[in-house]
Structure 1
């Protein structure tokens, strides 16, 4: 059957095809588990965490404090396809098959998995007139794994496919950027006048772990003769640094409050934001966040091609035949051959990795005192890849105690992304739970994204700023 491979999970047939695909996708997926908080929080300026996405935003309280463990936690995952896109069941059978065309239809030319954790350890802020100051300390686990559609096509169809046979193929957009770091953020917002507010976050970063693929270029040509000989070359430059002994310890370190050791990996970043309110009905805002780098000097290991661009010829085999019925020993021998030919040199030179910046453009229509309608356009920059997402938000307020919001987002070519949010304030306790992809909790096998964002702060007082305009420039405040 064209475009389908049987998976013998529930029968005796276990073709190597499935194993190879699982290695490339599912094993990579959990281990490549960037960072930013949920899109929903952008529409709740009363939350202290909204300034993470736009530093011009500030809460209406005079003072707030967020305590360890109960402060703020965001976890989010986004994928170009869901589990149900990968497998189907045969009719009248308990076995599964991989529908290759369905998988490829879901992919862009360049795609990425992302896994994000923002674990705020503590925070506080206070307002003084038109000024608002904040300080936040957080663990950030930031990961994006980019890959090309041609790579998946090569795995699914092999080099004997008409898309590769007798043709030159270049794979140069696949790579991993995974970082764990501590973030110390000093925020400041200033109300210039009744309509305009500006803000910035100045951040010191202290790195714990990093894998950065600066370059991974592979050029492949398959001979259109019957032996399927492959001519290939590579140019690889991968950087790593770790003060953590194992992956298990890496996961533990994300939420470890008792051990907060500083390292010699120093970095800096900055955010900029602006908010413009032409009248009481409308608000427009824009921000650029995570402009920064980290210099990695501790336990550095870099891997670079010893002979970049040098071509090697592998005597012919059809990858489809190999992975459909070949022995495990054949695949191991193939991997050994590739490793031996694509030799990598190792060094311990320090290097700089960059954060993945984001741009937010937002607008809000205050329909009345109880109802808001908002729009957010978010742009993610991952190396040379740019990804756009769009979110529409409706929020209803029940007095000053409770607000409930509903979101709809277009992300990764998916159109069923509804999210829910609730923000409550009982005395000084401000509690919120936000989600951009509720479908991920009700239908996990069909969802391409999951996230949740929880936070609790203690807020005190209410700021009441009235800006006084003076001729010739910005005046003071009353």
Structure 2
């Protein structure tokens, strides 16, 4: 039972994930780079994503431990493994999962070859987010109890959580407003299908002994879990189908919100580039199928240690505890904020070639110059209910031909110090295929990996 409680604490405390896409960011041969910077320097006449195949991505990360630490077949008792994991993690360690799938996408240039009226892009994608801060004190109490922790204050505020399934309609516009400056913006309508949110929790459990060998037990709880799109499934008479509800939610039938992306690309000189973007500056109002559970109150017991989970052993104490720490169900609307992401990069291009036939995969303000190679660095920051998450990436890009481009990255973040990534974009006629993968060293034994991610997609692209 303790194993079950621990795993529940480990995987049910959820929040939104670190969504760094360092391989995709500023990889302008791939149309989906516009989703990481609406001001990216893309040069397409038009493009269309192959429905359900144009953008598929998955990211799984853990900063504190790996699956191998818990489930290795090494003869070590599972309870021992649990305690080892607890001993080397803190309440700032993170578990995360992010999945995205584009349902459709496209974009086209406004104006003819002699005009520059900007570029319009649009689409719809589905996203699932999961991130858990390690509830260390709660997990320790669940496994060991408080017998060996007299005088320790177990922090219930370790539980800070969100999980969400949503769809996003978006439309973006970007324009070259000067020869060396491109700016862009993207408006988003969020439709939340399912949400569970438990943040800003507080409380503690504290046990101490008095001089006459009696115990004093103090419990203060200020916990709340907000949910939307889930309450109807608690009704035994509910006849709705989950698949139907998901389809309805994707098509703006869920709880709605609004967001904004902003970005720019600037060239101080032809082969030197700076970019920046702010992604998902937005919120969602939860008003439909809302149900919240609060567990709030204060309890102070002096005497023998009561068995709060056994009504027959200490009925009076147990009832006093339930009366003091009240479990209540509410039906009030609430608002959640999207995890806002900030990107910034600097890039130096070299291996210059002059374009003769007028068709190139150019970067820079001068369309007659083509650079085969580039090196750069990128900073990524994402907001969370606790401290922001950071990642720093260095990269090298190379164009081997008009049809094949590659990007290699090295990233330092909260999850790994050995994150090597590699991405490739190919083009056969108008068909563009790309595949990007991080943490390549971990694929030798993924059970020991602290982070894994990949992205792939298929588009039809016509360049200028």
With the shorter chain as reference, the TM-score category is 0.7 to 0.9
| Counterpart position of 1:171 | 156
| Counterpart position of 2:34 | 51
Q: Does 1:276 align with 2:276?
A: no
Pairwise CA distance, 1:271: 0.9
In structure 1, C-alpha distance between the alignment counterparts of 2:284 and 2:334, rounded to whole Å? 8
Given that 2:91 and 2:158 are in contact with CA atoms closer than 8 Å, whether structure 1 keeps it comes out as no
Q: Does 1:83 align with 2:88?
A: no
Q: Deviations over 1:246-270 (max 9, x none)?
A: 69x999689x779954325221000
Cα pair distance change 1:350/1:257, threshold 3 Å: closer
Q: Does 1:213 align with 2:198?
A: yes
| Counterpart position of 2:52 | 69
Pairwise CA distance, 1:340: 6.8
Cα pair distance change 1:280/1:101, threshold 3 Å: farther
- TM-score normalised by L of structure 1: 0.79
Q: Deviations over 1:172-228 (max 9, x none)?
A: 242221122221111111212122211111111122111111432122212145666
In structure 2, C-alpha distance between the alignment counterparts of 1:276 and 1:105, rounded to whole Å? 47
Equivalent of 1:28 in 3, 8, 12: 12
Given that 1:159 and 1:318 are in contact with CA atoms closer than 8 Å, whether structure 2 keeps it comes out as no
- TM-score normalised by L of structure 2: 0.81
Equivalent of 1:391 in 390, 393, 398: 393
Deviates more, 1:72-81 or 1:150-159: 150-159
In structure 2, C-alpha distance between the alignment counterparts of 1:292 and 1:177, rounded to whole Å? 16
In structure 2, C-alpha distance between the alignment counterparts of 1:235 and 1:76, rounded to whole Å? 32
- The 5 A counterparts of 1:131-146 are 131-146=118-133
| Counterpart position of 2:384 | 382
Any idea what SS the aligned residue of 1:445 has?
A: helix
Pairwise CA distance, 1:146: 2.6
Pairwise CA distance, 1:378: 1.0
Cα pair distance change 1:309/1:430, threshold 3 Å: same
Q: Deviations over 1:277-333 (max 9, x none)?
A: 11122211111111111111211102234xx442343876699xxxxxx99x99xxx
Equivalent of 1:443 in 439, 442, 445: 445
In structure 2, C-alpha distance between the alignment counterparts of 1:406 and 1:310, rounded to whole Å? 55
| Counterpart position of 1:182 | 167
> Structure 1: which 5+ runs fail to align?
1-15, 320-325, 463-478
Given that 1:64 and 1:124 are in contact with CA atoms closer than 8 Å, whether structure 2 keeps it comes out as yes
Any idea what SS the aligned residue of 2:125 has?
A: strand
Pairwise CA distance, 1:452: 1.1
Deviates more, 1:335-344 or 1:271-280: 335-344
Pairwise CA distance, 1:131: 1.0
> Structure 2: which 5+ runs fail to align?
111-115, 235-239, 352-370
Any idea what SS the aligned residue of 2:24 has?
A: helix
| Aligned-CA RMSD value | 3.5
In structure 2, C-alpha distance between the alignment counterparts of 1:285 and 1:450, rounded to whole Å? 26
Pairwise CA distance, 1:229: 4.7
Any idea what SS the aligned residue of 1:441 has?
A: helix
| Counterpart position of 2:334 | 351
